[in-house]
């Protein structure tokens, strides 16, 4: 069947100002005429970790509505799609109702975005539910990661802000980067924790490139399988967990992700005076065009 419709499209690299060093995102504009099946088909075709679809909001407080799809299903929230979609929308000529502010409507409700002093944008992390992982599973976790460098003094926890991650702290950033995990063996560990993803982090030494190194391993389900280059939801989950465990290094700090994949994602975390956590970073458009269907 010949294509009879077109929609605008951009592919954005998120959490990097340098093309090909962040996490790519496909953004489809004017998607109100697309049904769920068509959106899922497009997301499978792009074969990216996420594809987003911009729609007219049905909440009067929102600038826009977005639906977020992986190759395997729809997510109520994800971080790098939130930043990347907002970037694509602004670059297309959209003017926010309030200068320097945007409100996104998505599956978890309304997400506020704000322009920071460095010109980058950040989103306010949605509320997170933190659930400690059963101690009985710690040995299985260590075996699946092939590591004895897990820092169990900070208990592994599932942190769910719309995209649940099992958060595991390593003794150092070097230990995090040295991991050669068995993804198949990790799958039952993450399933038992109520998630399909494992976010592993470790602190850099003083003077390092950032405060923390982070890796996100996806073990199936709607997340797919493999390692994610740079993950906004997991960085938001990490910020919430560090705060809850009293391990936050400062009001503002930074995370590097993607190193094991030869990327160089940089995520800025800021705790404001109102109790909100902001997750920010640079974005750059790499491809602009249209979809035909």
Interval 102-114 mean pLDDT: 97
Span of 62-76, 134-148, 172-186 with lowest mean pLDDT: 134-148
Active site residue 50: yes
Interval 206-232 mean pLDDT: 92
Cα Rg, the chain, nearest whole Å = 18
Interval 225-240 mean pLDDT: 95
Interval 3-30 mean pLDDT: 95
Interval 205-231 mean pLDDT: 92
Give residue 193's pLDDT.
93
Does pLDDT of 120 surpass 80?
yes
DSSP structure string for 209-220: SSSEEEEEEEES
Give residue 1's pLDDT.
42
Closest among 162, 255, 254, 172 to 216, alpha carbons compared: 255
73, 46 Cβ separation under 8 angstroms: no
* Interatomic CA distance for residues 292 and 33, integer angstroms: 13
Confidence of residue 221 (pLDDT cuts 50, 70, 90): confident
- Summarize pLDDT for 128-162 with one digit per residue, the tens: 999 998 887 899 999 999 999 999 999 999 999 98
Interval 218-241 mean pLDDT: 91
Q: How far is CA 86 from CA 118, 205, 282, in A?
A: 16, 33, 11
Global pTM value: 0.93
Does pLDDT of 73 surpass 80?
yes
C-alpha dihedral (57, 283, 215, 43), degrees to nearest 10: 50
Give residue 273's pLDDT.
87
Which of 50, 213, 227, 270 is an active site residue? Answer: 50
Does pLDDT of 223 surpass 90?
no
User: How do beta strands 265-271 and 277-281 pair?
Assistant: antiparallel
């Amino acid at each position: 069947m010949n294509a009879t419709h077109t929609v605008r499209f951009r592919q954005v690299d998120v959490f990097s100002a340098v093309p090909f060093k962040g996490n790519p995102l496909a953004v489809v504009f004017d998607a109100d005429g697309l049904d769920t099946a068509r959106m899922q088909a497009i997301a499978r075709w792009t074969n990216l970790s996420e594809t987003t679809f911009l729609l007219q909001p049905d909440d009067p407080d929102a600038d826009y509505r977005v639906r977020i799809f992986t190759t395997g299903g729809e997510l109520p929230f994800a971080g790098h799609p939130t930043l990347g979609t907002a970037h694509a929308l602004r670059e297309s000529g959209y003017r926010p109702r309030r200068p320097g502010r945007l409100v996104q409507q998505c599956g978890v409700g309304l997400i506020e975005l704000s322009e920071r002093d460095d010109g980058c944008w950040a989103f306010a992390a949605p509320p997170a539910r933190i659930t400690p992982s059963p101690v009985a599973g710690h040995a299985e976790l260590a075996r699946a990661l092939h590591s004895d460098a897990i820092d169990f003094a900070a208990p592994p926890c599932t942190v769910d802000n719309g995209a649940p991650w099992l958060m595991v702290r390593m003794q150092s950033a070097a230990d995090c980067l040295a991991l050669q995990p068995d993804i198949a063996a990790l799958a039952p560990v993450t399933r038992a924790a109520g998630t399909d993803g494992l976010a592993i982090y470790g602190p850099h030494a003083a003077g390092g490139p950032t405060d923390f190194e982070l890796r996100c391993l996806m073990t199936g389900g709607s997340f797919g399988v493999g390692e994610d280059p740079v993950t906004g939801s997991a960085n938001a989950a990490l910020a919430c967990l560090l705060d809850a465990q009293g391990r936050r290094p400062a009001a503002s700090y930074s995370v590097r992700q993607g190193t094991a994949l030869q990327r160089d994602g940089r995520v800025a975390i800021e705790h404001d005076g109102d109790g909100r956590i902001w997750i920010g970073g640079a974005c750059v458009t790499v491809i602009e065009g249209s979809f035909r269907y």
